[in-house]
Amino acid sequence: MLKLNNHNNNNHNNQKLENFIDEDLIIKTLEATKDCSREWAKRIVARALEMEGLNFFEVSCLLNCDDPEVLEDIFAAARQIKDKIYGDRIVMFAPLYISNLCGNECLYCAFRATNKELARRALTQEEIEREVKNLVDQGHKRVLMVAGESYPHEGFEYVLKSIDTVYKVQSGNGSIRRVNVNIAPLEVEEFRQLKEKGIGTFQLFQETYHVPTYEKMHTGGKKKNFLWRLYAMDRAFQAGIDDVGIGVLFGLYDYKYEILALMQHIKHLEDEFGVGPHTISVPRLEPADGSSVSVEPPFPVTDEQFKKIVAILRIAVPYTGIIMSTRETPKIRRETFAVGVSQISAGSRTNPGGYSVDDFEEHSSQFSLGDHRALDEVINDLVTMKYIPSFCTACYRLGRTGHDFMDMAKPGDIKYHCSLNALSTLLEYLNDYASPRTKEAGEKLIREKLDASDDEKWKTIASEMLEQVKSGKRDCFI
C-alpha cells in the first residue's frame, strides 16, 4: 500500500507521486473503439447482465456507441441491474452547507475567493443546530455536510465540532443518524479525526481528471494541486475511512474521457485497498453567480448523454451507489431513477443557513437548483412512481462499510435488508412528517409492496418491523 506524506506530493520514500490517470491510454482506447459495431456493443451489454461489471475497454465501446438500438439495450440492462441489486428504493438525503468561506479559485463556483458579490458566512454551532432542527422536522435522517476550503479561526476543528452538533440535535421523534461529508481534501491525521466523529461517507469530486482543464479551471488556492486532490481517497483509506464517494463535475471536459478516468480511479482504489468507492456522484454544471464558465460550460452534457452516463455507470460498476442532487430538474431525476440512480437529495438549499430563512438568499448560494420542491413533494412523486423513498442509515451503523458492504451487496443480500429498512423508515416518515396526501399514498404503496412479495420470510419480518413503527418505536432496522 502506498503511504502518503502530508503537505507534499511525495510518498513515504519521498518519491514523487504519479498521476495514475493514464491520459494516453484513455485517448488511444477511445480512438480504438470509435467504430464499435452494434453486434459488439450488444455482446458487451449482454455480458453486463452477469453483474460482474465492465472493463475499461468495454466501457469505452459503449461510450462511443450512439446507435439508438444499443442505447435502448443499455437502458434496459441498467434497469434490470438496478432492480436486482437495489430494488425499488431510493435513499434520501439533504446537503447541509455550514460555510461558504473559501480560499480557492474554482472558476465555476460562486464560493470562489474573488467573488466579492457573495455574502460570506460560516454558521455558528447554534446556527447549525437550528438548520439541523429544520431538516429533522422535515423528516430527514441523513445529511451531507458541505463547506468551502477555509474555516473560521478554529480551523479544521470547526468541522469536527459541527459534526458533533449535528449528531446532538434531537427534535420530536427525529435526529440525524448519518453525516456524510463533502469538504476539501484532508491530511491523513485529519481524516482519522473525521472518522472518529462517526461520519458515513467521505465525498470528494475530482471535478475533471483532465490535467490541462483542471489547471485552467483552478487558478488559485490549495485546490490548484491536482495530485493532492487525486490522492485524497488514498489518504482517507489510510486513515481507516472505507466508505468514499468520488465524482466528476460534468460540463468541464469531454464526458467520455471523464468516465474512463473515473474507471481508472476506481481500479486504483481497488488495487490499492481492495475495495472501490461506495458512491459515484454525477453533478452537472449549474449556473453560479458571476461565473461565465458555469453558464456556458465548455463541454455541455445533453440530457440524453446524461442518462447514458448514468446507465453506463450502473452496468459498469453495479455495486456502487449513484448519487443525484437537486442540481437536476424533476424530469431528469425521474428518468434516471430507473436506469441507475440510488440516492437523491431533496428540499435542498446550497447557502449556509438556507433552511432557517424563509426567503432564499440568492447571494450566498453555491449554484442554482433544478429541483426546488419540498421533501414532501419529492416523496409524493417517488411514491406515485412506485419507488420506496428510504431514510435508512443502517449499514454504517452496523459496520457494513467498505469490504463488508461489498461482500454483502454482491450476492443481493443488500436488497433484502435495504427493502425492509426502506419500508420501516418510510413508515416513520409517513407517521411523523408527511402531508395527509403523501401519507395516504405512502401507506397504500407499503401495502402493495407487501402484497406483491411471495417471500414469506421477508413478509413476516417486514410486517413485524412495520408493526413496531406503528406502535411508536423508531429507528427499526436490520
Binding of ligand SAM at residue 54 (CB under 6 A)? no
Q: Which stretch binds ligand SAM (CB under 6 A): 178-186, 194-202, 416-424, 428-436?
A: 178-186
Site map (CB under 6 A) of ligand SF4, residues 213-252, x = contact:
----------x-----------------------------
Q: Indicate which of ligand SF4, ligand SAM, none lies near residue 204 (CB less than 5 to 8 Å, by partner kind).
A: ligand SAM
CB of 150 to ligand SF4, least distance (A): 8
Q: Give the residue among 76, 194, 84 at the shortest CA–CA distance from 145.
A: 194
278 near ligand SAM, judged by CB under 6 A:
no
- Total Cβ atoms within 10 A of residue 404: 14
Instruction: Please give the Cα distance from 177 to 392 (Å, whole number).
Output: 9
Kindly give, in sequence order, each residue whose CB lies less than 8 Å from that of residue 410, ignoring residues fewer than 6 positions away: 319
Residue 319 · residue 266 · CB < 8 Å? no
Site track for ligand SF4 across 169-208, x = CB under 6 A: ----------------------------------------
Q: Which is nearer to ligand SAM, 41 or 285 (CB)?
A: 285
Q: Report the nearest approach of ligand SAM to the CB of residue 383 (Å).
A: 28
Assess 149 for contact with ligand SAM (CB under 6 A): yes
Q: DSSP H helical segments within 340-393, as ranges?
A: 375-384
- Give the residues across from 322 on adjacent strands: 280
Minimum distance between the CB of residue 102 and ligand SF4, rounded to whole angstroms? 3
Closest distance between ligand SF4 and the C-beta of residue 111, in Å? 4
Contact set for ligand SF4, span 72-111 (CB under 6 A):
102, 104, 106, 109, 111
Q: Does 350 bind ligand SF4 (CB under 6 A)?
A: no
Three-state SS for 89?
strand
Count the helix, strand and coil residues of the chain and give each as a percent rounded to the nearest 5.
50, 10, 40
226 counts as binding ligand SAM under rule CB under 6 A = no
Contact window for ligand SAM (CB under 6 A) among 187-195, 283-291, 298-306, 416-424: 283-291
For 31, residues 6+ apart whose C-beta sits below 8 A from its C-beta are none
DSSP state of 474: -
Is 148 among the residues that bind ligand SF4 (CB under 6 A)?
A: yes
Site string for ligand SAM, 81-110 (x = CB under 6 A): ---------------------------xx-
- Return the bridge partners of 142, or none: 178
Instruction: Give 92 or 183: the residue with its C-beta nearer to ligand SF4.
Output: 183
How far is the first Cα of the chain from the last one, in angstroms, to the nearest whole number?
34
Partner from ligand SF4, ligand SAM, none contacting 327, C-beta within 5 to 8 A by type = ligand SAM
Run of H or E residues at 202:
strand 202-203
Measure the CA–CA gap between 299 and 96, rounded to whole angstroms: 29
One residue of 182, 213, 343, 438 binding ligand SAM per CB under 6 A? 182
From the list ligand SF4, ligand SAM, none, which binds 283 (C-beta under 5 to 8 Å, kind-based)? ligand SAM
Smallest CA-to-CA distance from 383 within 284, 449, 287, 295 is with 449
Nearest residue to 339 via CA among 324, 356, 359: 324
Binding to ligand SAM (CB under 6 A) within 127-146 occurs at 146
Write out the three cell numbers for 362.
440568492
| DSSP line for 261-309 | HHHHHHHHHHHHHS---SEEE--B----TT-HHHHS-SS---HHHHHHH
Q: For residues 123 and 427, what is the distance between their CA atoms, to the nearest angstrom? A: 33
Q: Which is nearer to ligand SF4, 102 or 426 (CB)?
A: 102
Task: Give SS3 for 160.
Answer: helix
Q: Which one of residues 75, 202, 367, 405 is an interface residue with ligand SAM (CB under 6 A)?
A: 367
Question: Which residues, 6+ apart, have CB-to-CB distance to 444 below 8 Å?
Answer: none
String of contacts with ligand SAM for each residue 317-356, x by CB under 6 A? ----------x-----------------------------
Phi-psi category of 297—alpha, beta or left, where left has phi over 0 and alpha has psi -120 to 50? beta
State yes or no: residue 261 binds ligand SAM (CB under 6 A).
Answer: no
Please select the residue that binds ligand SAM; options are 285, 309, 369, 378, rule is CB under 6 A.
Answer: 285
- Nearest approach in angstroms of CB 105 to ligand SF4 is 7
Neighbouring-strand partners of residue 359:
none
443: which residues sit within 8 A by CB, 6+ positions away?
Answer: 427, 430
Stretch that binds ligand SAM, among 119-127, 279-287, 302-310, 435-443 (CB under 6 A): 279-287
Binding-site ranges for ligand SAM (CB under 6 A): 108-109, 146, 148-149, 182-184, 204-205, 207, 249, 283, 285-286, 288, 294, 327, 366-367
- Residues near ligand SF4, by CB under 6 A: 102, 104, 106, 109, 111-112, 148-149, 223
